[in-house]
Amino acid sequence: VSNNTHPLKGLVVRAVQQSDGPAIAALLEQPKAFVSDHWGPKSSLEEHIKNSVLAFSLSEGESEALFLFVLEEAGEVSGVLGLSTLIGTTQPRYHFRAGKRVHQSHALSVYRDIDLLLLGNDCTGSTELCLFAVGQKSSLAVQGAALIEGVFEFARLNPNLLGQRLIAELPGLNGNSSKSEFWLGLGDRFIPQELKHESVGVLVELLPRTPIYLPFLSPEVRSVIGLVSCEQSDFRSFLESNGLYFQDMIRPEDGGGVLEVLWRQVIPEFNRTRNLNDRPETNSQAKFRFECS
């Protein structure tokens, strides 16, 4: 493929502007738009954009911030991608981590490996891909890839803003609702009747913090761990083709898998120099603009 005919040529990824509101709202209406549970209600889009514009101009990176990127194609906005940074540093974020214990008895010739789930806050300080949508006439392979390329360029320029790791929480089967087999078979067992009306995301705080033995869970629950709802299966493949992968983290709300990658695994020169407590040295990125070539 010669440079002249490269499919990404002419696509621009740039920092969001307040005027992008209607275009983004339209993109989020797409049936396959990905919106993280932690994004908040739809009505807050304007607020999010305002915060993001501010985040780009301050670029301090000391607390949770939202960076929204849009894809421009011949002057039209045809894609949006959101990064939440430093997640879990003001409000704890919970995930199960899948582990294993081997129990062996020589005397009885028994060897069992037992799967466990341990509730923790392992994503604290990571960056979450919290929003992603491309327009009806766009494709993940072209417009989606352009967005990712632009965002990776942003990451390369701003390692100090983004933590070590990029994650994306994908909804599980019958995601995040009282219909989720995973929630009903695990989390829900620990919730007293009078609290069952509360939202699942909040109820996670009440789950035990020592390992849960999977053999105590029903086969139905065990079989949905790490599965992703059908609506997001294309998106999952897309993320995987861009280097994110499911390792061992699971959404407590519905058993959905968390895809993750260390920035330095996808951006070789990503060099994060700052500890969480250091002063940031990043310049304003309000004019961030990346032209695909």
Interface of this chain with other proteins, residues 159 to 188, rule: CB under 8 A: 186
When asked if residue 276 is in the footprint of other proteins (CB under 8 A), the reply is no
Residue of 54, 141, 195, 276 that binds other proteins (CB under 8 A): 195
Pick between residue 113 and residue 269 the one whose CB is nearest to other proteins: 113
Q: Which of 31, 41, 75, 215 binds other proteins (CB under 8 A)?
A: 215
Is residue 8 near other proteins by the rule CB under 8 A? no
Q: Report DSSP letters for the chain, one per residue.
A: --GGG-TTTTEEEEE--GGGHHHHHHHHTSTT-EE-GGG--GGGHHHHHHHHHHHHHH---SS-EEEEEEEEETTEEEEEEEEEESTTSSS---EEEEEEEEEEETTTTEEEEEEEEEEE-TTTT-EEEEEEEE-TT--IIIIIHHHHHHHHHHHHH-GGGS-SEEEEE---TTTTSTT-HHHHHTGGGGS-GGGTTS-HHHHGGGS-SSPEEGGGS-HHHHHTTT---GGGHHHHHHHHHTT-EEEEEE-TTT-PEEEEEEHHHH-TT------TTSPP-PPP-TT-EEE--
Size of the site for other proteins (CB under 8 A): 31
Q: Is 245 in the site for other proteins (CB under 8 A)?
A: no
Asked if residue 49 binds other proteins (CB under 8 A), the reply is: no
121 touches other proteins (CB under 8 A): no
Q: Which is nearer to other proteins, 20 or 181 (CB)?
A: 181
- Residues 57-116 binding other proteins (CB under 8 A) are 101, 103-105, 107-108, 110, 112, 114, 116
Please, which residue, 75 or 208, has the CB nearer to other proteins?
208
- Does residue 196 bind other proteins (CB under 8 A)? no
Minimal distance in Å, beta carbon 196 to other proteins? 12
- Binding residues for other proteins, rule: CB under 8 A, are 101, 103-105, 107-108, 110, 112, 114, 116, 186, 189-192, 195, 198, 202-203, 205-213, 215-217
